[in-house]
Chains A and B, each alone.
Chain A
C-alpha cells in the first residue's frame, strides 16, 4: 500500500517536473534579462553621449587675411579699442576672399560664415600688441556654428534650401574655403577657456567649472569638519538616550529628503533672511554642504565604528582621556574611511543641480567668476541651460559638458576607491 503511494507521488512529481524546469529556466532568463537591462542602458547611454559630444572637442576655424588698417580702426589717428570698428576689418578680409559677393544680401550671407567672435579676437590681438596696427596678418577665427555643424555632418546639405540654415551660395563658399585649406578643424580650446555665450561657437564651460570649483571648496570646508565632528560625537561621546536616537533618525531622513527641498531652504534662509547674494557660489556651497552633511556623517560613523574597541580599551588603560583616545587613536585609524565618504559626498554635490536652480544659479552669465560671491553657474546647471537651447550646436556642446562632468565624477570616485583600497585595514 505505502509502496503504491510512493509510486503515485513519484509519477505525479515526474509529470510536473518538465514544467517546473521550464519555469526555472524562464525565471533565470528573466533575471539575466533584468541585469542586462541596466548594463545595456549604460552602454547605449555612453555610446550616444560620446557620439553626440565627441565632435564638440573640435571646432572649425577660418583663416582670413586681415589688414589692421589705420583708416578703419583709428580714423582720428587715435586707436580706441572700445569703439574701433573691428567688424569692418573682418568684413574687408571676407570681401577679399569672395570678391564675387557684391550685393547687400550676398555680403550678409558671406559674413554669416564667420563667427561674431572674430572681431573680439582681433580686438584682443591689438590690445596685447598695439604694434600690429597698420600691418596685415593671417588670422584664424572661429567659423560660425552653422558652418561648423555642416562640416561635422549635422546639417544635411541635400535637403532643399529652405529647410536648412545655409543657402546654396553659402555652401559653395564653404566648399571653396575647404578647397583652399582656409577652413580647418582644430581642437576647440574655446570650450575650456570661455564663459557662456549666446553663440555656440564661442560658448565654453570655464565659467561653470570655476563656479563648481568655488562651490565645492565651500562645501568641503564646511561639511567635512562638521560632518566628521558630528560623527565623532554621535559615535564616541553621545549618551545613548532619546536625544541621540532623534539625531540618528533625523540624519537618516535628511539623507533621503529631495534635494529640491534643500534649495527651498537655501532660498528662504540664506537669500531671503540672511540676504546673502543670489547666484553666488558661496550660497550654493552652503546649500550643498547641508545636503552632503548626512552622507558624510553616515560614512564617517561607519568608519569610526569599524575601529576595534580593543584600541580604545588599550589607550584608556594607559591613562588617556576619552578625548585623547578619540583624537590620538581612533580618528587616525578611521580617517581613510571618513575621507572616502567625503569624496563620495563631494561627487554627489558636484552632480547636483536642482537646489541650485532655486538660489538663482541658472542665470546666463558670461563672465568667469573670480570669487565666492561673484554670480556664477555650476557645471550641471550649464548642462541644463544648454540642453534647453534650440541650436543644434548646443546639443553637441551639452554632451561635451556632460563628458567633462562625468570625467570629474569618475576621477573623484576612482580616487575614493583607491584611497579605500590602499588605506583600509582589516582588523
Chain B
C-alpha cells in the first residue's frame, strides 16, 4: 500500500469516528432535544473520538518510517554471504546502496551479479512486507483508538476538557519547535565542529594565515595535509561587510531622514514601497547582477583609470550587498527616528535651529542607540549573506585589504566545501561545520545585542 493511501485512509477513519462519536453522544441522551444532559457539546465527543483515532496511528506511521529503512538494511546485510558482510563499512554502504538502486530500478554503479540480484529481490520483498504490515497495524490502531474512545463516551464524560487539553499539548509542542530548531542548529554544528577540532587544533583554525582545504586521497601525496587557517576568510568577510556597510549605512540613514523629515507624503508613498521591493529581491538575483553587470562595469572602469581589478572583486560583491541592505538600515533607522518624542524636535525647531541642525544635534543623538542596534543587525545580515559573495566575490583566499582583488568569505567556503561529494570523516567537510559554528556564534552575538538595544531603546520613549 502506498504511503499516501495509508495516510488518507487514516484521515478518512478519523473523520468517520468524528461523526460516530457525535452521533453516539446524542443517542445516549436520546436525541438533540435532550442535549442539556451532555457534559459537553456533541461535537467535542466527535473530536475526542477523531483524535484518538488519528494521533496514535499517525505516530506509529512516523516511527515506522524512521525505523523501517534501518531494519531492512540490517536484514539484507544479514542475508548476504559471509565474504561481503566482512567488508569495511564504506564498501558495505556502497554495496547496500547498489542493492537498493537495483531494487527500485535505478542506475547501478557496478556489474550486477546473481548474488546482488537475489539481495535486491530480498530487499524489494522486505519493503513490500513492511508496507503491508504498516498498513495493517496503523489502520488497526486507528480503528482500535476510535473504538476505545467510542466506548468511553457517556453523558458525564468531560469531553471538552479532554479535547482542550490535547489541543493545549499540541500548541505547546508547536511553540517548542522554535527552541528545538535552535538546539538542533547548535548541536549539529557543534558536534561536527568538535570532530574537526580534534583533527585541526582550534588555535590553528582561528589564527592560521593559510587556507587551502584540500585533503589528500592518498596519505603519501604531495601537499597531503590541507591547511585550515581561517584568518583570510575572516578578513575577506570583514572587507566585503565593510564595503557593504560603507554603502548601506549612509545611504540608508539619509534615506530614512529624508523620508521622515523632508519629503512630501506623495514621494514617501512612492519611495517606501520601492525600497521594500529592493528588500524583496532574492539574493541570488543580486548575485547575478553583481557578477554579470556590476563586476564587469567596475573592471572596465578600473582599467580605464589604470587600476588592476580582478574579474571577481570584493568591491562588486560589497557594493551590491550594500544596496541590498539599504532597506533594512533605513527601516530600522526610521523606527528609531520616529521613536524620538515630538517635543524634542519641536523644542529645537522653536529655538531657531534649522531642520538639519535639529536632526544632527537633537534627534540623531537621541536616536543613536536604536540606529546602532539596527546597524548591528545589518552587519549580521551582511556577514551571513551567501549568494552574492558566492557568485561575485571569488574563491581565492587572499589576505588583503584591497577591494579590487578577489577575496573569499566564510559563507563562500562553507558552500564550496559542501557542494558536491561529502565525506563525513574528512577534515574538509568538517571544516565547513567549524566555519558554520563561527558564523552562527558571531551572528548570534550581533543579533542578541542588536535586538536588545533596539527593543530597549524603543521602550525608553514609549
Task: Return the contact of B178 from the options A256, A297, A405 (Cβ within 8 A).
Answer: A297
Inter-chain contact B282/A35, CB cutoff 8 Å: no
**Considering the chains assembled together, what is the distance between the CA atoms of A257 and B444 in angstroms?**
7
Mark A237-259 against chain B: 1 for CB-CB distance below 8 A, else 0.
11000000011011111101111
Interface status of A27 (Cβ within 8 A of chain B): yes
Contact A31/B282 with A258-B411, A261-B440, A264-B433 known, Cβ cut-off 8 Å: no
Inter-chain contact A247/B284, CB cutoff 8 Å: no
Interface secondary structure of B, over-half rule? helix
**Considering the chains assembled together, what is the distance between the CA atoms of A352 and B282 in angstroms?**
7
Interface status of A283 (Cβ within 8 A of chain B): no
Cβ of A358: which chain B residues have Cβ within 8 Å of it?
414-415, 418-419
Known: A380-B285, A402-B288. 8 other contacts (CB 8 A): A28-B356, A38-B327, A45-B289, A48-B289, A246-B179, A265-B185, A383-B285, A395-B292
16 A/B residue pairs, CB under 8 Å, sorted by A:
A35-B267, A38-B251, A250-B179, A250-B182, A256-B447, A260-B439, A261-B436, A264-B188, A265-B181, A353-B387, A357-B415, A358-B415, A380-B284, A380-B387, A384-B284, A409-B281
Inter-chain contact B178/A293, CB cutoff 8 Å: yes
Name the residue among A275, A290, A357 with the largest chain B CB count within 10 angstroms. A357
Inter-chain contact A258/B285, CB cutoff 8 Å: no
Cβ of B184: which chain A residues have Cβ within 8 Å of it?
265, 269
Interface status of A229 (Cβ within 8 A of chain B): yes
Inter-chain contact A268/B192, CB cutoff 8 Å: yes
Query: How far apart are B23's CB and chain A's nearest CB, in angstroms?
Result: 22
Interface status of A226 (Cβ within 8 A of chain B): yes
List residues of B (380-400) whose CB comes within 8 Å of A's CBs: 380-381, 383-387, 390-391
Inter-chain contact B185/A409, CB cutoff 8 Å: no
Inter-chain contact A247/B178, CB cutoff 8 Å: yes
Inter-chain contact B254/A31, CB cutoff 8 Å: yes
Interface status of A132 (Cβ within 8 A of chain B): no
Q: Select from chain A the residue with minimum beta-carbon distance to B355.
A: A24
Inter-chain contact A257/B443, CB cutoff 8 Å: yes
**Considering the chains assembled together, what is the distance between the CA atoms of A41 and B278 in angstroms?**
9
Cβ of A238: which chain B residues have Cβ within 8 Å of it?
175
Cβ of B66: which chain A residues have Cβ within 8 Å of it?
274
Inter-chain contact B171/A409, CB cutoff 8 Å: no
Cβ of B257: which chain A residues have Cβ within 8 Å of it?
31
**Considering the chains assembled together, what is the distance between the CA atoms of A398 and B171 in angstroms?**
43
Q: How large, as a class, is the contact surface on chain A?
A: 35 or more
Mark A344-368 against chain B: 1 for CB-CB distance below 8 A, else 0.
0001001111100110001000000
Interface status of A234 (Cβ within 8 A of chain B): yes
List residues of A (388-425) whose CB comes within 8 Å of B's CBs: 388, 395, 398-399, 402, 405-406, 409, 413
Inter-chain contact B182/A38, CB cutoff 8 Å: no
Cβ of B251: which chain A residues have Cβ within 8 Å of it?
34, 37-38
Interface status of B170 (Cβ within 8 A of chain A): yes
Cβ of B418: which chain A residues have Cβ within 8 Å of it?
263-264, 267, 357-358
Q: Select from chain B the residue with minimum beta-carbon distance to A251.
A: B178
Cβ of B192: which chain A residues have Cβ within 8 Å of it?
268
Task: Return the contact of A387 from the options B278, B291, B414 (Cβ within 8 A).
Answer: B291
**Considering the chains assembled together, what is the distance between the CA atoms of A406 and B448 in angstroms?**
32
Query: How far apart are B411's CB and chain A's nearest CB, in angstroms?
Result: 5
Interface status of B461 (Cβ within 8 A of chain A): no
Q: Select from chain B the residue with minimum beta-carbon distance to A222.
A: B177
Contact A230/B174 with A34-B250, A264-B185, A357-B418 known, Cβ cut-off 8 Å: yes
Q: Select from chain B the residue with minimum beta-carbon distance to A232.
A: B171
Inter-chain contact A234/B175, CB cutoff 8 Å: yes
Task: Return the contact of B326 from the options A32, A38, A230, A347 (Cβ within 8 A).
Answer: A38
Cβ of B357: which chain A residues have Cβ within 8 Å of it?
20, 23-24
Task: Return the contact of B419 from the options A23, A237, A357 (Cβ within 8 A).
Answer: A357
Inter-chain contact B177/A226, CB cutoff 8 Å: yes
Inter-chain contact A257/B292, CB cutoff 8 Å: no
Task: Return the contact of A405 from the options B168, B274, B282 (Cβ within 8 A).
Answer: B282
Inter-chain contact B433/A268, CB cutoff 8 Å: yes
Inter-chain contact A34/B258, CB cutoff 8 Å: yes
Q: How large, as a class, is the contact surface on chain B?
A: 35 or more
Task: Return the contact of A229 from the options B170, B283, B293 (Cβ within 8 A).
Answer: B170
Inter-chain contact A261/B189, CB cutoff 8 Å: yes
Inter-chain contact B354/A254, CB cutoff 8 Å: no
Cβ of A381: which chain B residues have Cβ within 8 Å of it?
284
Cβ of B383: which chain A residues have Cβ within 8 Å of it?
258
Inter-chain contact A42/B284, CB cutoff 8 Å: no
Q: Which residues of B contact A (CB under 8 A)?
A: 66, 69, 160, 164, 167-168, 170-172, 174-179, 181-182, 184-185, 188-189, 191-192, 250-255, 257-259, 261-263, 267, 271, 274-275, 277-278, 280-285, 287-289, 291-293, 323, 326-327, 330, 352, 354-357, 359-360, 377, 380-381, 383-387, 390-391, 411, 414-415, 418-419, 422, 424, 432-433, 436, 439-440, 443-444, 447-448, 450-451
Interface status of A294 (Cβ within 8 A of chain B): yes
Q: Select from chain B the residue with minimum beta-carbon distance to A252.
A: B451
Contact A229/B443 with A41-B278, A264-B189, A387-B291 known, Cβ cut-off 8 Å: no
**Considering the chains assembled together, what is the distance between the CA atoms of A325 and B288 in angstroms?**
50
**Considering the chains assembled together, what is the distance between the CA atoms of A72 and B390 in angstroms?**
49
Inter-chain contact B181/A293, CB cutoff 8 Å: yes
Inter-chain contact B179/A34, CB cutoff 8 Å: no
**Considering the chains assembled together, what is the distance between the CA atoms of A294 and B292 in angstroms?**
33
Query: How far apart are B451's CB and chain A's nearest CB, in angstroms?
Result: 5
Contact A354/B178 with A230-B171, A260-B414 known, Cβ cut-off 8 Å: no
Contact A405/B285 with A35-B263, A42-B277 known, Cβ cut-off 8 Å: yes
Query: How far apart are A337's CB and chain B's nearest CB, in angstroms?
Result: 18
Interface status of A21 (Cβ within 8 A of chain B): yes
Cβ of B263: which chain A residues have Cβ within 8 Å of it?
35
Q: Select from chain A the residue with minimum beta-carbon distance to B448.
A: A253
Q: Select from chain B the residue with minimum beta-carbon distance to A272.
A: B424
Query: How far apart are A277's CB and chain B's nearest CB, in angstroms?
Result: 11
Interface status of A321 (Cβ within 8 A of chain B): yes
Cβ of A405: which chain B residues have Cβ within 8 Å of it?
282, 285
Interface status of A39 (Cβ within 8 A of chain B): yes
Q: Select from chain A the residue with minimum beta-carbon distance to B174.
A: A229
List residues of A (293-324) whose CB comes within 8 Å of B's CBs: 293-294, 297, 321, 323
Task: Return the contact of B356 from the options A13, A27, A38 (Cβ within 8 A).
Answer: A27
Task: Return the contact of B282 from the options A362, A380, A395, A398 (Cβ within 8 A).
Answer: A380
Cβ of B451: which chain A residues have Cβ within 8 Å of it?
249, 252-253, 256
Contact A233/B178 with A252-B451, A402-B285 known, Cβ cut-off 8 Å: no
Query: How far apart are B408's CB and chain A's nearest CB, in angstroms?
Result: 14
Inter-chain contact B179/A229, CB cutoff 8 Å: no
Interface status of A214 (Cβ within 8 A of chain B): no
Inter-chain contact A37/B384, CB cutoff 8 Å: no
Name the residue among B178, B261, B433 with the largest chain A CB count within 10 angstroms. B178
Task: Return the contact of B385 from the options A42, A258, A273 (Cβ within 8 A).
Answer: A258
Inter-chain contact B188/A269, CB cutoff 8 Å: yes
Inter-chain contact A290/B447, CB cutoff 8 Å: no
**Considering the chains assembled together, what is the distance between the CA atoms of A182 and B295 in angstroms?**
39
Contact A34/B254 with A42-B274, A253-B447, A351-B283 known, Cβ cut-off 8 Å: yes
**Considering the chains assembled together, what is the distance between the CA atoms of A260 and B258 in angstroms?**
34
Which 9 residue pairs of A and B lie closest in terms of their CB atoms, listed nearest first? A258-B384, A31-B258, A351-B282, A268-B188, A34-B254, A229-B174, A27-B356, A354-B386, A233-B171
Query: How far apart are B142's CB and chain A's nearest CB, in angstroms?
Result: 21
Contact A347/B280 with A23-B356, A31-B258, A38-B323 known, Cβ cut-off 8 Å: yes
Inter-chain contact B384/A34, CB cutoff 8 Å: no
Contact A226/B174 with A24-B354, A32-B258, A351-B282 known, Cβ cut-off 8 Å: yes
**Considering the chains assembled together, what is the distance between the CA atoms of A238 and B175 in angstroms?**
10
**Considering the chains assembled together, what is the distance between the CA atoms of A229 and B167 in angstroms?**
10
Cβ of A41: which chain B residues have Cβ within 8 Å of it?
278, 323
Contact A35/B385 with A383-B288, A387-B292, A405-B285 known, Cβ cut-off 8 Å: no
